Structure 1
Amino acid sequence: MIHFPVFGLRTHMIRERRIGGKMAQIEIVEFLTDRRVGDQETARTSPSETFVIARLANREALALAYGREAVEKVRDEVLARARASLGSPSAAWWLDEIDLLLRISYRGSADAHPSLGEVQRRLAQPITVGEYLILPLLVAAAGSVDAGQSVSVGEVEPVIDALRQRVVRAQPALPAIGADAVSCARYRRDMASAAMVSDLLNCDGVVMAWQPVRSSDGSDEILYSEGLSRFIDTDGEALEPGIVVPALERTGLIRLLDHCVVLQTLERLRVHEYQRLGCNISAQSALLDEWWDDAIALLEANRELAQRFVIEITETAAFTDVNRTVQFVDHMRSLGCRIAIDDFGTGHAALRHVVALKPDIVKIDALFLRRCLEGDDADTETFRHLVGLAAACADAVVVEGVESEIGLVMALAAGAAWAQGYHLAAPALFLGRGDSQARSPRVNPWGAAPVPTIRRPDNERDRRWLAATFLLSLFLWIGIAGAWNAVT
C-alpha cells in the first residue's frame, strides 16, 4: 500500500477550490508542504518519493473536436482516477489546464506499489463523455527525491519546471487539426478507433500473426519471425490494421497498442526458448520512459531472451526526438536486443536518422520491389541502389513484399540476403516445432486483474446454418418433385 504524509488544515481548505493558472502552482507548493520550520516551509519526504508531471497533451485537439465542457469532464475523471490509483485524495492535483502533478510516496516493498507506467496506463483508459469515448493523451516525466531528504518550497518549483521541460521534449509530433468541421469529424473518427483498440486490448482482442524473415537464397534459414498485429472484434471479425494504426498515430495513442504488442512478444519468447521474434513499434514509442518499465524489467532479468528479441521501428510517424530515440536504441541494444528500421525508403525517417540509430537490420519497403517488377530499368536501378544504401547502414537487409519467385530473384540479385512475403510464408497464428497454440499467450497490460474473455463465434451457429440449409434444400426438392408429378 502507498502511504502519504498527512497535510494540514490550510491544505484541505485549498483542495476544495478549483484552481488554475499561476496561482495554482503557488497553491500546489502549499499543498506539498508538510510542516513549518521557523520561517521556512519544507516538504517532508518519505523513504522514497517521486514527483510526476502528467501533461494532457491532446487538450487543444479535444477542445476543438468535442468542446471545452468535454475537456473539463476528461480532466475531472483523470484526476479522480489518479487519486484512486494512488490511494489518496491528496496524491494528485492539476497545476493548470494541462499539467497534472502526482506525488507518490513509497514505503515498504516496491512490489506492493504500482509502477509509474501502470499508473499512466490506468489514467489513459477511455472516458465516456456523452455519446463519445475519449482517451486522454498523457505524457509524463518523473523525478525522485532521496530518502529522508527535506525539500524547501523554493526548491519545489525548479523541480516542477524541470519536469515540465522534460514533458515538452517527450510530446509526440502530432498533426495539427483544424477548427473546420471536416477536420474535427476526422479526429472524432480516429478517437473512436483508438477507443475501440483500447477496448480490444482489455478483452484479448489483439492477437499476433507471425511471418518469418527467410534467406533469399532459397534455404530454410530464418533470421527471425515478425509479429503482425491482428484486431478481432467481439463478433470474431478481423479489422483492417491499415486503418486502425494510422488513427492511433494521428491521435498520439499508438503507445497503448505498442506496449501490449511488446509484452505479448516477450511472453512468447519466454515460453518458446528456440524462437527469435520481433514486433513493430511506432517511432512515437521509441523513447525511454515509464511506458517501457515493465518490458525493460523483463529484459534486464533475462538477457538470453533479449538476445532473441528484435524491435522494429516503423517510419509511418515522425520521430518525436531523434536524440531520445538514439538513447532508446542504445539502451535496448545494451540489453541484447536487435534494432530494425521498418519500411525503409518511405515515411518520415530521413537517411541521417537511420545513420544516427545504427540499426542492425534495415527492411526495404515493399513499394520498391513492386515498382522494380512493374517498372522500367530506372526503377530496377533505384531498387538496387536502395538495397546497397541499406547494406551500408546495417548488417542485414530484408526486402519486404516478396510475393513471387521473380520477386525473390530480384531481391537476391540486388544484394539483399533476406526476404519476407507471402511467397516465402504467410503470417500464421502459430509457429512450428511444438508450438501448438493457435493464439499468442494472453497478456493483460493493465495489471493482475482478470481479463474478460472476448466472445467468439462458436460451432453452434455453424450447425444451425447447416440445418437451415438442409431443410431449405429438402423443401425445394419436395416442391420440384410435386411439380414434376403434376405435369406428368
Structure 2
Amino acid sequence: MTDPENEMDERGLAGEVFSAMIDSRVGLHREPVRDVTCNDNVLYQQCAAAVSDSQGRPLNPALFMPALERMSLIRLCDRYVVKQAIAALQASPTLRLGFGISTQSAVADVVWKAIFHLLEETPDVAERLVIEFPEPAWFDAHEQAQHFAYRLKQAGCKIAIDNFGIETAIGIRAPDIIKIDASFVAAARHGEKHVARLARLVRLAAEQADDVVIQGVDDPLDLLHVHECGTKWVQGQFVKAPDALEWVASNLQL
C-alpha cells in the first residue's frame, strides 16, 4: 500500500498544514531535556509541531517542514507554534518549553511584533520559553537574525544553539544553552577517540553557555559516554524510557 503523504506534492503538503492550523489540528509534540540521572529534573520540554491531516492521520514533519521552508511558508507555521507554546506556558506556571525556529523566521519585523510585546508584558512566561536556532544557520549569521535573537533575550527568553559541532561557529553571543549534535554521541559508540572528541566539544560548549545538552542519547552506552564527558543534560529515546532511572541507579556512580 502506498503512503498518500509521500505521493503528495509540496503544495499539497503546505495546504494540509495550513488547513490543520485553521481547524486547530496542530498540537505540540514534546520531548524532555532531562538530567543525566534520568530523575524528574527537566531543563525544558522541546516542542515540535504535531499535525494531523483532514482524515486524522499524522503528517510527517520530516516531509512537511522542509516543504514549507522551500516554499518560504515556514514563518507562518513557526509563529503559530510559538503562540501555542506561549498559551501552554500561560496555562501552566511550572512548565518550561522550547521550540526550534527556521532562520527564515528570524526576522524581527511587524509580524513578530505582537509576540515580542506579549513576552515583554509577561516576563514570567518569557523566562520559561527557550527558542532554539540551528547552529549551521549562524555560521554566517546576518544582522536581521542577530537582532531577532536580541529581541527575544531582551524579552526574557532563553536562547539555545541546536546541532552544535557541525560548524562550531556561533552568531549569537553568549547563548544560554548549547545542544551538541546527535551525530557526536552516535560516533562515540565506535571508539575512545570519538568519546574524546565528544568530550572536547562539550568543554568548548561549556565555555560559551551555562547549560550544555547532549542530544541523541538513544541507548545505555550513550548515557555512559555522556556521564564520562561530565554533561548534566541529555535528550533522546533512552532517557524517555520508563526504566531509565532504574538503569542509571544500577550502572552509574552519581
Alpha-carbon separation, structure 1, partners of 2:27 and 2:234: 24
Write out aligned runs for 1:32-181 (5 A).
none
Please, which of 13, 18, 32 is the counterpart of residue 193 of structure 1?
Answer: 13
Alpha-carbon separation, structure 1, partners of 2:196 and 2:117: 45
Q: Identify unmatched segments of 5+ residues in structure 1.
A: 1-187, 427-488
Please, which of 44, 55, 62 is the counterpart of residue 235 of structure 1?
Answer: 55
Aligned counterpart, 1:384: 199
Poorly superposed stretches of 4+, deviation over 4 Å: 315-321
Aligned counterpart, 2:181: 365
Once the two structures are TM-superposed, the CA of residue 401 in structure 1 deviates from its matched residue by 1.4
Alpha-carbon separation, structure 2, partners of 1:409 and 1:259: 38
Q: Which amino acid aligns with 2:99?
A: C
CA contact 2:140–2:171 (8 Å) conserved in 1: no
* TM-score normalised per structure 1: 0.45
Query: Is the alpha carbon distance of 1:316 and 1:191 closer, same or farther for their aligned partners in structure 2, counting shifts above 3 Å?
Result: farther
Q: Which amino acid aligns with 1:351?
A: T
CA contact 2:33–2:235 (8 Å) conserved in 1: yes
Larger radius of gyration: 1
Write out aligned runs for 1:437-476 (5 A).
none
Aligned counterpart, 1:408: 223
Write out aligned runs for 1:309-348 (5 A).
309-315=129-135, 322-346=142-166
Write out aligned runs for 1:219-298 (5 A).
219-298=39-118
Q: Which amino acid aligns with 1:277?
A: L
Once the two structures are TM-superposed, the CA of residue 391 in structure 1 deviates from its matched residue by 1.3
Aligned counterpart, 1:214: 34
CA contact 1:283–1:315 (8 Å) conserved in 2: no
Aligned counterpart, 1:117: none
Once the two structures are TM-superposed, the CA of residue 275 in structure 1 deviates from its matched residue by 0.9
Which of structures 1 and 2 has the larger relative contact order (alpha carbons within 8 angstroms, sep 6+)?
A: 2
Alpha-carbon separation, structure 1, partners of 2:50 and 2:140: 26
Once the two structures are TM-superposed, the CA of residue 321 in structure 1 deviates from its matched residue by 5.2
Q: Identify unmatched segments of 5+ residues in structure 2.
A: 1-7, 242-254
Q: Which amino acid aligns with 1:314?
A: P
Once the two structures are TM-superposed, the CA of residue 316 in structure 1 deviates from its matched residue by 6.8
CA contact 1:355–1:393 (8 Å) conserved in 2: no
Once the two structures are TM-superposed, the CA of residue 195 in structure 1 deviates from its matched residue by 2.6
Alpha-carbon separation, structure 1, partners of 2:137 and 2:17: 18
Alpha-carbon separation, structure 2, partners of 1:252 and 1:319: 21
The count of residues paired between Structure 1 and Structure 2 equals 234
Once the two structures are TM-superposed, the CA of residue 355 in structure 1 deviates from its matched residue by 5.1
Query: Is the alpha carbon distance of 1:201 and 1:340 closer, same or farther for their aligned partners in structure 2, counting shifts above 3 Å?
Result: same
How high is the sequence identity, in percent, across the aligned residues?
35
Q: Which amino acid aligns with 2:174?
A: K
Q: CA RMSD in A?
A: 2.1
Alpha-carbon separation, structure 2, partners of 1:320 and 1:288: 18
> In structure 1, the residue corresponding to 2:151 is in which secondary structure?
helix
